[in-house]
C-alpha cells in the first residue's frame, strides 16, 4: 500500500511539473505570437477569432486560426484570408473572412470583396493587397478562448500560479520529510553508539569482576598452601 502511494505521489508530482512547464511554454509562445501580425510560429501567423462571423462553415469565436503569408495576387474566390480591417466599426482589427470575388477599390488598386459566411454580408470596404496578412490554413478549437482566459487574473491564478505553488509545496514537504529522516537516522546512529558503549562498559565490568574473582581464588589458594605448610612444620 505504501509503495502504491509513493508511486501515485511521484506521478502526481511529475504531472504538476509537466503542467507547470507546459503552461510556462504556452504563455511565452502565446504572448509572443498570438494576434501579432509581425510574428510567426514555424512560418504561420496565429490569430484569435473574436466573433462567430465564420461559424456557419469554418471556425468559431475563441478558436485560433493559422495563416500563411502568400502573394496576394495568387488569391482567388473562395479563399479565406486574414486582413487588417479598414471598416469603420472594427478599424485596425484582424479579421478572417472569405473572398467573395476579386475587385478593385475606388482608386483602382486590386483587392477583394470579403464576407462572413454566417451573415453572408459583404464587408464594408474592399481589402486591398497591402492589408492582407495571409491565407487561412487551419484552426485549433477554443485555444484562443483559453489564452484570453489565461490573460485574466483568475486564469493566471488557476493555470500558472496554482501549479507552481503546488509544486513548491510538494517539494517543501519532501524536503521536510528528508530532513526528518536525516535527523531520525542521526538519532538512531547516536542511540546505536550509546548502546555499543554501554555494551562495552558492561563487558569490561564483567571482565573486571571475573579478574577480581580469579584474584580472590588465587589469594585463597595461596593462603591455603601457606596454612598447610605451617601445619606440616609443626608436626
The chain-wide mean pLDDT, for the chain, equals 86
Please indicate, yes or no, if residue 102 is contained in any of the structural domains.
yes
Contact 15, 22 (CB under 8 A): no
Query: For residue range 49-104, what is the model confidence (pLDDT) as tens digits?
Result: 999 999 999 999 999 999 999 999 999 999 999 999 999 888 999 999 999 999 99
Alpha-carbon distance of 130 to 171, in angstroms, equals: 53
Q: Which residues contact 171 (CB under 8 A, 6 or more apart)?
A: none
Closest of 223, 235, 61 to residue 141, by C-alpha: 61
Give pTM, 2 decimals: 0.63
Alpha-carbon distance of 82 to 29, in angstroms, equals: 20
Please indicate, yes or no, if residue 40 is contained in any of the structural domains.
yes
Please indicate, yes or no, if residue 135 is contained in any of the structural domains.
yes
Write down the pLDDT at residue 173: 84
Query: For residue range 150-188, what is the model confidence (pLDDT) as tens digits?
Result: 888 888 888 888 888 888 888 888 888 888 888 888 888
Write down the pLDDT at residue 216: 84
Residue 4 has pLDDT above 70, yes or no: yes
Backbone conformation region of residue 78, classed left if phi is above 0, alpha if psi is from -120 to 50, else beta = left
Write down the pLDDT at residue 205: 87
Cα separations in angstroms, 71 against 34, 81, 123, 135:
22, 12, 21, 9
Beta-bridge partner residues of 16: none
Please indicate, yes or no, if residue 230 is contained in any of the structural domains.
no
Please indicate, yes or no, if residue 222 is contained in any of the structural domains.
no
- What HEC string does 159-190 produce? HHHHHHHHHHHHHHHHHHHHHHHHHHHHHHHH
Domain containing 91 — which CATH number?
2.10.109.10
Please indicate, yes or no, if residue 195 is contained in any of the structural domains.
no
Please indicate, yes or no, if residue 138 is contained in any of the structural domains.
yes
Query: Structurally, how many domains does the chain consist of?
Result: 1
Burial (0-12, 13-18, 19+ Cβ within 10 Å), 36: middle
Please give the residue range of the domain that contains residue 130: 35-148
Cα separations in angstroms, 60 against 117, 124, 144, 213, 225:
11, 21, 10, 102, 120
Amino acid at each position: 500500500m505504501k509503495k502504491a502511494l509513493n508511486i501515485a505521489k511521484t506521478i502526481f508530482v511529475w504531472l504538476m511539473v509537466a503542467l507547470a512547464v507546459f503552461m510556462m511554454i504556452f504563455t511565452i509562445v502565446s504572448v509572443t505570437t498570438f494576434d501579432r501580425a509581425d510574428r510567426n510560429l514555424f512560418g504561420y501567423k496565429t490569430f484569435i477569432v473574436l466573433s462567430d462571423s465564420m461559424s456557419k462553415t469554418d471556425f468559431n469565436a475563441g478558436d485560433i486560426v493559422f495563416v500563411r503569408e502568400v502573394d496576394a495576387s495568387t488569391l482567388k474566390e473562395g479563399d479565406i484570408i486574414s486582413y487588417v480591417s479598414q471598416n469603420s466599426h472594427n478599424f485596425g482589427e484582424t479579421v478572417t473572412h472569405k473572398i467573395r470575388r476579386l475587385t478593385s477599390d475606388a482608386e483602382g488598386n486590386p483587392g477583394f470583396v470579403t464576407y462572413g459566411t454566417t451573415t453572408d454580408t459583404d464587408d464594408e470596404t474592399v481589402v486591398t493587397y497591402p492589408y492582407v496578412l495571409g491565407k487561412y490554413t487551419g484552426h485549433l478549437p477554443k485555444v484562443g478562448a483559453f489564452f484570453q482566459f489565461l490573460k485574466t487574473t483568475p486564469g493566471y491564478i488557476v493555470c500558472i500560479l496554482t501549479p507552481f505553488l503546488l509544486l513548491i509545496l510538494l517539494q517543501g514537504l519532501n524536503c521536510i520529510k528528508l530532513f526528518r529522516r536525516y535527523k531520525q537516522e542521526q538519532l538512531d546512529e547516536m542511540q546505536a553508539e550509546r548502546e555499543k558503549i554501554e555494551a562495552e562498559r558492561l563487558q569490561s565490568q564483567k571482565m573486571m569482576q571475573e579478574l577480581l574473582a580469579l584474584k580472590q581464588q588465587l589469594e585463597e589458594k595461596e593462603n591455603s598452601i601457606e596454612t598447610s605448610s605451617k601445619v606440616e612444620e609443626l608436626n
